[in-house]
């Protein structure tokens, strides 16, 4: 036997264990291979889809949003007389960047970077909580300073008179404070929500059933249900000619039922503050006055007036509206810094109505901060504005205004002449009617100013015979405590001592039920008798 016949097969040439099956090459084998490959691909796609869906869910707004609501409760009765002494009942920290808010129904709201927490005013215990763990909270605010049962009800039937305007919160997305939500002050339930391209570094302002967000170069106005009616200034993506206004910064804003006023500083207007007056809801004005043929919408509008205040600084004290002369009109009270502190009343047609000196220090104005509206509180027919360390109260009075109208003629007929003869008023004439009409105009008027103040006041509620809250007494925050000030006189009757830890620079006061709430920036303190 030769060596080649007896040699063992090499590992490379060794056959596999068991019988060797011939490889299938028929058409059926190709189908089975393709089918197996399809199942493998489908399985891989399913796995990837599941991973993507899981990732989306784990990072989604749905998973990151938590809403812990509370049962409804009866609103607390308002304080009717100022207390003689106060002690601290409880306190809670709050995010100083977003602050805190209150509702006269009985809720105090504190915040952290992601959450809005509604607390029982009497105990400080959490009632409800709204959280967006994947988004930064930009702001929280409320204009529920009185209960409609004790204050004038909303004129809009759709507004819930048992809930006020609610607790407003704004969350940041894509570098803008664009996630807006309105929460029920009692239960924490979501009432309304929307998205809007609001700039960071902005502030909230209120008036009647309206609210707005003023950013450094863009301002928006919303109805009580967060329906946007006006966008002013710079547009993120202007799609219409005449829609965007660039080169201007906003340093103040205020709104009333018919008009919104802003203070703007524009590169092409020099170094003086410009007062700009617009309709609060231009489309509504246009719809109800077809003969005007206005081309108004949310982002394209022409101001009612653009006024050079001739002063480097200006602050809005109050905005008042009238339904006459049609389609709507209003007047704005502005305090200017130059040549000395003065209050100027402007009409929405751009004319100056009145001017008077205001006895506050010129340094009260401080530097202008784009996006930061003047702190302002309105109760009944009086607005309280914080100008530096001075509190300015602005009420209203009725002024008669006579305006020119186009003369019209009447058409005489035998029938109208006969009726006129029977009534003894003479025959109907085709002579022109009077070419003037007189209207009663609501005009803001400064009542008084108080210095050495560190925040906005709280107001006790004293309903008059109509059930309208006049606000009998103010609790004005000062370094020494709370000054008791009758709202009509603006003089300090006495001061209630309050010990504030850390001596906060700014303190805003709210009266909620029989408790006094102090918003101290990084904390909230609730005081009671």
- Which residues make Cβ contacts (< 8 Å) with residue 47, sequence separation at least 6? none
- Sign, CA dihedral 368-308-282-439, equals positive
pLDDT tens sequence across 31-86: 666 677 778 877 888 887 777 666 665 665 777 899 999 999 998 988 989 999 99
d(CA 353, CA 331): 9
Per-residue confidence (pLDDT) for residue 281, from 0 to 100? 87
Per-residue confidence (pLDDT) for residue 400, from 0 to 100? 76
- Count Cβ atoms below 10 Å from residue 188 Cβ, excluding itself: 23
Percentages (nearest 5) of helix, strand, coil residues in the chain: 10, 40, 45
29 vs 191, higher pLDDT: 191
Tokens read off for 343: 């209050």
Give yes or no for residue 328 having a pLDDT over 90.
no
Span 432-442, average pLDDT: 73
41, 45, 47, 53 alpha-carbon torsion, rounded to 10°: 180
Cα atoms in the Cβ-side hemisphere of radius 13 Å centred on 503: 2
Contact of 292 with 362, CB cutoff 8 Å: no
d(CA 332, CA 278): 11
Contact of 180 with 198, CB cutoff 8 Å: yes
Per-residue confidence (pLDDT) for residue 19, from 0 to 100? 53
Per-residue confidence (pLDDT) for residue 57, from 0 to 100? 56
Per-residue pLDDT band at 427 (split at 50, 70, 90): very low
- Which residues make Cβ contacts (< 8 Å) with residue 452, sequence separation at least 6? 389, 478, 479
d(CA 508, CA 82): 17
Q: Please name every residue paired with 383 in a beta bridge, in sequence order, or none if there are none.
A: 378, 394
Per-residue confidence (pLDDT) for residue 251, from 0 to 100? 98
The radius of gyration of the chain's CA atoms, rounded to the nearest angstrom, is 33
Q: Report the SS3 class of residue 168.
A: strand
Cα atoms in the Cβ-side hemisphere of radius 13 Å centred on 492: 17
Span 478-498, average pLDDT: 95
Across 81-95, 151-165, 333-347, least confident range:
151-165
- Sign, CA dihedral 157-158-160-166, equals negative
Q: What is the 3-state secondary structure (H, E, C) of 371-388?
A: CCCCCEEEECCEEEEEEC
Span 427-445, average pLDDT: 69
Of 129-133, 234-238, 465-469, give the range with the top mean pLDDT: 129-133
Residues in the chain: 529
Per-residue confidence (pLDDT) for residue 58, from 0 to 100? 60
Across 19-33, 43-57, 421-435, least confident range:
421-435
* Residue written as token pair 């990151």: 64
- Count Cβ atoms below 10 Å from residue 413 Cβ, excluding itself: 10
d(CA 8, CA 447): 117
Span 200-224, average pLDDT: 94
Q: At 485, give phi and psi (nearest 5°).
A: -130, 115
Give the H/E segment covering residue 396: strand 390-404
Listing DSSP states for 210-250 in one string gives: EEEEE-SSEEEEE-TT--EEEEEE--SS--STT----SEEE
Cα atoms in the Cβ-side hemisphere of radius 13 Å centred on 193: 11
Tokens read off for 282: 């231009």
109 vs 282, higher pLDDT: 109
Q: What is the 3-state secondary structure (H, E, C) of 455-496?
A: CCCEECCCECCCCCECCCEEEEEECCEEEEEECCCCCCCEEE
Span 348-359, average pLDDT: 95
Buried-state track 68-87, b at ≥16 Cβ within 10 A, e below 16: ebbeeeebbebbeebbeebe
d(CA 361, CA 340): 9
pLDDT above 90: percentage of residues in the chain: 58
Per-residue confidence (pLDDT) for residue 438, from 0 to 100? 75
Average pLDDT, whole number, for the chain?
82
Give yes or no for residue 497 having a pLDDT over 90.
yes
Per-residue confidence (pLDDT) for residue 286, from 0 to 100? 54
d(CA 327, CA 322): 9
Span 358-378, average pLDDT: 92
Give yes or no for residue 105 having a pLDDT over 50.
yes
Closest Cα to residue 162, out of 154, 173, 170, 171?
A: 154
* Residue written as token pair 């929500």: 193
pLDDT tens sequence across 156-203: 434 454 456 799 999 999 999 999 999 999 999 999 999 999 999 999
pLDDT tens sequence across 170-181: 999 999 999 999
Give yes or no for residue 237 having a pLDDT over 90.
no
Q: At 170, give phi and psi (nearest 5°).
A: -125, 135
Per-residue pLDDT band at 145 (split at 50, 70, 90): confident
């Amino acid at each position: 036997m030769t060596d080649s016949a007896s040699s063992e097969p090499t590992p490379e040439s060794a056959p596999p264990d068991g019988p060797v099956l011939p490889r299938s090459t028929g058409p059926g084998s190709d189908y089975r291979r393709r089918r197996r490959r399809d199942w493998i691909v489908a399985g891989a796609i399913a796995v990837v889809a599941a991973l993507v869906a899981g990732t989306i869910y784990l990072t989604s707004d749905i998973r990151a949003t938590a809403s812990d609501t509370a049962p409804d409760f009866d609103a607390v009765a308002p304080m009717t007389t100022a207390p003689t002494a106060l002690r601290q009942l409880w306190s809670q920290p709050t995010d100083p960047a977003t602050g805190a808010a209150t509702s006269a129904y009985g809720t105090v709201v504190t915040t952290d970077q992601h959450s809005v927490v509604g607390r029982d005013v009497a105990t400080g215990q959490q009632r409800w909580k709204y959280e967006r763990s994947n988004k930064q909270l930009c702001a929280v605010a409320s204009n529920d300073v009185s209960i409609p049962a004790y204050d004038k009800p909303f004129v809009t039937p759709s507004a819930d008179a048992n809930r006020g305007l609610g607790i407003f919160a704004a969350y940041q997305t894509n570098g803008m404070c664009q996630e807006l939500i309105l929460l029920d002050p009692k239960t924490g339930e979501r009432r309304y929500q929307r998205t809007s391209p609001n700039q960071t570094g902005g502030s909230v302002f209120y008036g009647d059933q309206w609210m707005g967000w003023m950013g450094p170069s863009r301002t928006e106005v919303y109805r009580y249900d967060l329906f946007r009616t006006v966008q002013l200034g710079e547009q993120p993506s202007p799609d219409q000619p005449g829609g965007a206004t660039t080169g201007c910064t906003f340093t103040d804003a205020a709104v009333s039922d018919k008009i919104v006023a802003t203070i703007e500083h524009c590169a092409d207007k020099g170094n003086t503050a410009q007062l700009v007056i617009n309709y609060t809801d231009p489309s509504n004005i246009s719809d109800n006055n077809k003969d005007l043929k206005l081309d108004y919408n949310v982002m394209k509008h022409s101001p009612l007036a653009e006024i050079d205040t001739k002063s480097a600084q200006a602050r809005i004290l109050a905005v008042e509206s009238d339904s006459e002369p049609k389609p709507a009109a209003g007047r704005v009270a502005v305090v200017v810094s130059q040549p000395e502190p003065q209050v100027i009343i402007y009409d929405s047609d751009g004319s100056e109505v009145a001017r008077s000196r205001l006895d506050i220090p010129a340094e009260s104005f401080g530097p202008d901060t784009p996006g930061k509206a003047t702190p302002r509180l309105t109760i009944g027919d009086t607005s309280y504005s914080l100008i530096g360390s001075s509190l300015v109260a602005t009420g209203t009075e009725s002024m008669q205004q006579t305006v020119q109208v186009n003369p019209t003629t009447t058409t005489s007929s035998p029938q109208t002449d006969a009726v006129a003869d029977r009534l003894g008023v003479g025959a109907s004439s085709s002579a022109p009617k009077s070419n003037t009409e007189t209207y009663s105009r609501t005009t803001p008027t400064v009542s008084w100013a108080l210095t050495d103040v560190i925040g906005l006041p709280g107001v006790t509620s004293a309903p008059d015979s109509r059930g309208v809250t006049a606000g009998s007494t103010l609790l004005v925050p000062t370094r020494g405590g709370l000054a008791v000030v009758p709202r009509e006189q603006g003089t300090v009757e006495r001061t209630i001592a309050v010990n504030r830890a850390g001596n906060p620079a700014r303190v805003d006061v709210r009266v909620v039920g029989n408790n006094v709430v102090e918003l101290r920036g990084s904390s909230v303190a609730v005081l009671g008798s």
